[in-house]
Structure 1
């Protein structure tokens, strides 16, 4: 072996060891490895940061922003209302949620798809009085499977597509992954729906949807906007919707005055305000479902058409708010923020929320654009609670957001513009129409993954150019000379899948892709089946909670232990190998 090969193999060995160890952030490990490679002379200094301009890195960042836009616009609620039912049998619930999760993962990042559906799944489990552990892991696995269906569903597909363009002159297109991905997703979903969930230990664990301690229920108001579907209904007609969202309707405000009692028999009119009691996320969801609006939206256009945030904040003794009301402070006029609700040690009150004198120890619920809410909290002297902010869904923009994304995909698929340009255009439109705010554009991007990918790309290129990947390929071929090509493909997929169970799937793909290409060259067959095999195997990390971010996300809410994943994950990985190898060879002949 040459000096460059020995140096790179040793360096990558340390990289893998540190990534498996997991005590040091993976982006820092990759960055240090890049610097060490430059210092050792195996990467030229002028080529050290080419990864940051690589198209795969750009596309992954843009996909994450598009996913955030879909979440902000409430695209998931368009289907959630039809799929959630606490009375449905568990297997039917898992099947429906898995299909929806896989479908969403095909068009947005699979991590974002899980985040959107996880809360709904937890709520369904609580209403059905069953352990959420039975359904949360199948949902996670389904979103991982769904990500394999399209180019943008999962980072390994993007990396493989860009690697093919560099090696063969043309990338995989948006739907080249679909035939094999759909077969794997359908078979995998059938398994987790019928058999897989029965293999999971039943963990009696109460998942936390809100992410933090309970600050009590808030009393809030919601305005009946023009053309609201609630107009003409009795207040009592909204009780079932309130129960569905864990909301209590306390009464009705008309003409600035609270009507007596609970006003159950009163007909709702335009301009009325409903008095609600519940936690912030439930209040926000009910306002959207009942087609209501935040108080003050009709007077302040800044609360319309903007990316809004709900923030919970404690009122200390010396706060400017103490003893004063939101109206008295002219909070909406001065700061562009409205006081949506107040929590006072579980006590109810008859005063209107904006006319209620605030006391020390109250927890207030502020609504407005994130920057304004933060400024208002500082001006008021209140203390925002950590992890107690909630993005307000802009439901009126759901179809617009989906339409913009569909146009971007269409332009890319038809070859009018590259995918990166199409997605960048969609992001620009979302930012222009405030589907995502300026700060959210940057917050949506998972920068550690971007740094990891950008730093490992030069290392992968150096290993390939030094002949290291060809050396590995020759060793694999030499050890499998008596085996048919399909068996060699299966072995490559098993090795890749095993690595992906313990390493980041992007890192696994960057190393396995050139090895697959070299094996195909040594066997004198088409490289496409081997690249597809790497893409499938790198995505299917089901044995551990560290192999895929989705598995890590559900570990806490589901109450899972490290050893719980392999029970359903091992048979699923075996099934994927058995199904995907013939599928790949059928759709991508040798």
Structure 2
């Protein structure tokens, strides 16, 4: 029977408006999800939909506490090698048997891999399991002679299916259980998910063996990154990446102006956009040369990259240096001023480069010099990291300089006061000749700052001045440029122009992997905070000592302009450097190194402690001695006490973004319950499919949950759908458990898009997957969840 609709009230309208805004923000990705959650928390209080106490109660919620504790427990199992040991067993079981066909061997391999991944994911965080099994799966592909694309997606799906096996399998399971506790009902048990979850897992594995594996791509050709770690022939690797066409030998003349300069100071890499892989000289070969290596005349530099920049400067001069040195007063326009300010310890500028601060782009000013202690820096300022105590000299219009007025020690300077910076020595006037590569290019395209450390302060054209010209200004032959630089910068440019080029060299890449050096794939981890930043902003080469040869995104490789490409989730890098450097990189939470032998060595002697602690947590919860939140905290503390993890490692293991997101979104679920918004939405569902009975309503709610799950984080979906499921059960006068379990299984079904779950993003680049690959198999497994779950739920959880 149709139910009477709940009356629309102002509070319900406000709650639904906030809910709609949240969904739109998640879909458009205009703001970080955790930041959206914090804004929602504040808005709910301001609107009077929850009390201040209720708004922050989520941070002490048992589900939230359990979530961060499980992150630590998972890290303990991974750090001590317990999980890796299981992975080794997978490799052992996955080895082909004699006289077994390739098809049946692959079916057995998928069964073992998916079962092992899913069972481990029942106890551990599923993102962590997917990350841990990623190099294991690539190694299995190498040993069995398969493309990694045949195995990685089933492994990722298995990590998600494992979340359906236990209460602690996913954060959304814990959130749903806590909603039951909040309304006075017994929370879900640790193994309440297991019977139906196992049935879904078994049917899904059967599907992958019989049908799904036939839909998996066999993409060795577009997947060079996986090849780098799967034993693929080096010739194939070069072909896949197009490295052969991008390799060239740069030969320095014996009297090169670059001789005696370091590799960094020569600007070969930055100015020409090339990666220097090795340097061959009379006394031997230097692989992965350090940026501080001194160049010598006659050096042969093996370079990787496009030669556009080299060709632009090699045959024609960029500009002519004028003999007349400009006076300081020529630096300023009639209405421009000079000012200086100090970088305070708490300044937003501290720890950033001038490029990151965007002094010219954001504020319309130009940095002329910087004083650090007794030393004044006037050139190559763009990538200099600002430190507290630095004094910065800037030029600009008064309206632009006011943006810096709140900085400590801000004051305007006269030309006489600015003479202390000795700027005249570093002012150059150059002219753009006919045929120059600068003609017809904008200042930004000319890359004088990024390539040579030279700033354009003024452009003089036919008697007209452009002071602090916009980066979009197009240069023309005959222009005079007032530059902030040094004659040594011009000497570097001339040195680059004397380099001889030997294009299309044929080098066996195995020669570059001699001894401690290796070409290894590195990925952004699912927990990275670096999305949106560039390698240049991260100072990646300087910080980690490895070179990025290419970036793999989607189904193609990028090999040019890598330093300035904003990074995205799922990006993978082909890197070259020493194994020692890769071992350091492997300890960074933002990156994931896809090579087992350079990852941090596990504390194997602590493995028995970690395993016993995890078993103990499960046992005390099963016996009812402790609630799961307290048991998980105890287990996390014991992981640190027994030195399975250090305290710092425990803190790093927690995904604080997920914790803050869930804690700050829980008040929205409470507002939906208290205002009647959940009841209103539940009535709509009941009125739509109610005449067909509770099973049809269960199916409708699961399908709705599954659809919403493709667009918003799963934990947020649990917050939104739990009140609706509870209200639906109350309307029907039946048990809420089948509905709550139904939305739990539906929320765990994040199979259909690469962005619906971090585990899916994680395998996209190593597997070379496309969006359609996820849709084909993801839709089928989501359908399995519905077809298996809907009939079994009323049996195990009667209405």
TM-score (norm 1): 0.71
Q: Distance in 2 between matches of 1:151 and 1:571?
A: 24
> d(CA) in 1 for partners of 2:292 and 2:157?
49
**Alignment CA distance shift 1:28-1:398 (3 Å):** same
Runs of 5+ consecutive residues of structure 2 not aligned to the other structure? 1-7, 98-104, 235-287, 295-509, 517-544, 547-576
Whether the 8 Å contact between 1:509 and 1:538 is mirrored in structure 2 is: yes
2:224 maps to which residue? 206
Instruction: Describe the SS at the equivalent of 1:481.
Output: helix
- Residue number in structure 1 paired with 2:197: 181
How far is 1:209 from its partner?
9.4
2:44 — aligned with what? 37
Of 130, 140, 161, the residue aligned with 2:156 is 140
Cα distance in 2, alignment partners of residues 455 and 488 from structure 1: 30
1 CA distance for matches of 2:55 and 2:626?
Answer: 28
Deviations 1:51-74 (A, max 9, x none): 111111110111111111111111
Q: Is the contact between residue 59 and residue 419 of structure 1 (CA under 8 Å) also seen in structure 2? A: yes
CA distance in 1, matches of 2:740, 2:579: 54
Query: Does 2:96 correspond to 1:78?
Result: no
For residues 79-94 of structure 1, the aligned pairs below 5 Å read: 79-84=86-91, 85-87=94-96, 89-94=105-110
Structure 1: gaps spanning 5 or more residues? 217-312, 320-342, 350-359, 375-384
Paired residue for 2:181? 165
1:450 aligned to 640, 659, 666, which one? 659
Give the counterpart of 2:56 among 43, 49, 55.
49
1:409 corresponds to 2:612: no
1:450 & 1:135 partners in 2: Cα distance?
31
Matches within 5 A, 1:550-569: 550-569=759-778
Maintained 8 Å contact 1:502/1:544? no
- Structure 1 residues 255-270: aligned runs within 5 Å: none
d(CA) in 1 for partners of 2:515 and 2:123?
44
Between the aligned partners of 1:386 and 1:444, the Cα distance in structure 2 is 13
Q: 1:120 aligns with which of 136, 152, 158?
A: 136
**How far off its partner does 1:43 sit?**
2.4
Shift in alpha-carbon separation, 1:538–1:503, aligned structure 2, 3 A: same
Q: For residues 513 and 210 of structure 1, what CA distance do their matches in structure 2 show?
A: 45
Show the counterpart of 1:96: 112
Q: Does structure 2 retain, via aligned residues, the 8 Å contact 1:5–1:467?
A: yes
Q: CA offsets, 1:508-529, max 9 Å, x none?
A: 1111111111111111111111
How far 1:316 moved relative to its partner? 5.7
Aligned to 2:242: none
Q: How far 1:364 sits from its partner (Å)? A: 6.8
Question: Do structure 1's residue 438 and structure 2's residue 647 form an aligned pair?
Answer: yes
Kept after mapping to 2: 8 A contact 1:464/1:470: yes
Contact 2:59 2:663 in 1 (8 A): yes
Which stretch of structure 1 is more off in the superposition, 480-489 or 532-541? Answer: 480-489
The answer (yes or no) to whether the contact 1:496–1:537 under 8 Å persists in 2 is yes
Contact 1:543–1:569 at 8 Å: present in 2 too?
yes
Distance 1:156 1:386, change over 3 A: closer
Separation in 2 of the partners of 1:195 and 1:516? 34
Q: Secondary structure at the match of 1:391?
A: coil
Answer yes or no: is the 8 Å Cα contact 2:147–2:218 preserved in 1: yes
CA offsets, 1:301-345, max 9 Å, x none? xxxxxxxxxxxx9866499xxxxxxxxxxxxxxxxxxxxxxx996
Instruction: Compute the displacement of 1:40 (Å).
Output: 2.2
Aligned-partner SS, 2:753: coil
Mapped contact 2:606–2:643 kept (Cα < 8 A): no
Which residue of structure 2 lines up, in the alignment, with residue 156 of structure 1?
172
Cα distance in 2 for partners of 1:191, 1:35 equals 46
Q: Which residue of 2 aligns with 1:335?
A: none
Equivalent residue in structure 2 for 1:470, among 670, 679, 684: 679
Tell me how far apart the structure 2 counterparts of residues 386 and 82 of structure 1 sit (CA, whole Å): 26
Specify the SS of the correspondent of 1:555: helix
Q: State the Cα distance separating 1:143 from its structure 2 match.
A: 1.4
Match of 1:429 in 2: 638
Q: How far did residue 206 of structure 1 move?
A: 3.2
Q: How does 1:138-537 map to 2 (within 5 A)?
A: 138-204=154-220, 205-208=223-226, 317=292, 346-348=513-515, 363=578, 365=580, 390-537=599-746
CA 1:346–1:560: 2 relative to 1, 3 Å: closer
* Residue 564 of structure 1, CA deviation: 1.8
Q: Give CA-to-partner distance per residue, 1:156-202, whole Å, 9 cap, x none.
A: 21111111111133211111111211111111122123221211233
Displacement of 1:433 in angstroms is: 2.2
Cα RMSD after superposing both structures: 2.9
Note if contact 1:456-1:507 (Cα within 8 Å) is conserved in structure 2: yes
- Stretch of structure 1 that moved more, 517-526 or 28-37: 28-37
> Cα deviations across residues 268-308 of structure 1 (Å, max 9, x unaligned)?
xxxxxxxxxxxxxxxxxxxxxxxxxxxxxxxxxxxxxxxxx
Contact 1:314 1:364 in 2 (8 A): no
Is contact 2:583–2:599 with CA below 8 Å preserved after alignment?
no
CA change 1:503–1:367 in 2 (3 A) is closer
Q: SS at the partner of 2:146?
A: coil
Report the more deviating stretch, 33-42 or 543-552: 33-42
The answer to whether the 8 A contact 1:133-1:560 is kept is yes
Offset, 1:128: 2.7
Distance 1:314 1:3 in 2: 67
Shift of 1:2: 1.2
Is 1:582 the counterpart of 2:598? The answer is no
Distance in structure 1 (CA, Å) of the matches to 2:89 and 2:579: 33
Residue 542 of structure 1 and its aligned partner are, at CA, apart by: 1.0
Change (3 A) 1:369 1:432: farther
CA contact (8 A) 1:159 1:510 kept: yes
Per the alignment, do residues 512 and 466 of structure 1 end up closer, same or farther by CA in structure 2, a change over 3 Å counting? same
Q: Which residue of 2 aligns with 1:62?
A: 69
What SS class does the counterpart of residue 690 from structure 2 fall into?
Answer: coil
> Which whole-Å CA distance do the structure 2 matches of 1:149 and 1:165 have between them?
20
TM, length-normalised to structure 2? 0.53
Counterparts of 1:314 and 1:40, CA distance in 2: 60
State the alpha-carbon separation in 2 of the partners of residues 512 and 188 from structure 1. 25
104-113 vs 202-211, which moves further: 202-211
Query: In 2 relative to 1, CA 316–170 (structure 1 residues): closer, same or farther, beyond 3 Å?
Result: same
Shift in CA distance, 72/410, structure 1 to aligned 2, threshold 3 Å: same
Distance in 2 (CA, whole Å) between partners of 1:126 and 1:364 is: 20
Q: Name the SS for the 2:580 alignment partner.
A: strand
- Which of these two proteins has the greater Rg computed from alpha carbons? 2
CA gap of 1:406–1:387, structure 2 versus 1, over 3 A, is: closer
Cα displacement (A) at 1:30: 1.5
Distance between the aligned counterparts of 1:455 and 1:92, measured in 2?
44
Residue of structure 2 in register with 1:267 after alignment: none
Distance 2:160 2:40 in 1: 29
CA 1:523–1:367 in 2, change beyond 3 Å: closer, same or farther? closer
Q: What whole-Å deviation, never above 9, does each CA across 1:106-154 have from its counterpart, x for those lacking one?
A: 1111112211212111111123332211111111111111111111011
State whether residues 710 and 750 of structure 2, in contact with CA within 8 Å, keep that contact through their aligned partners in structure 1.
Answer: yes
* Matched position secondary structure for 2:754: coil
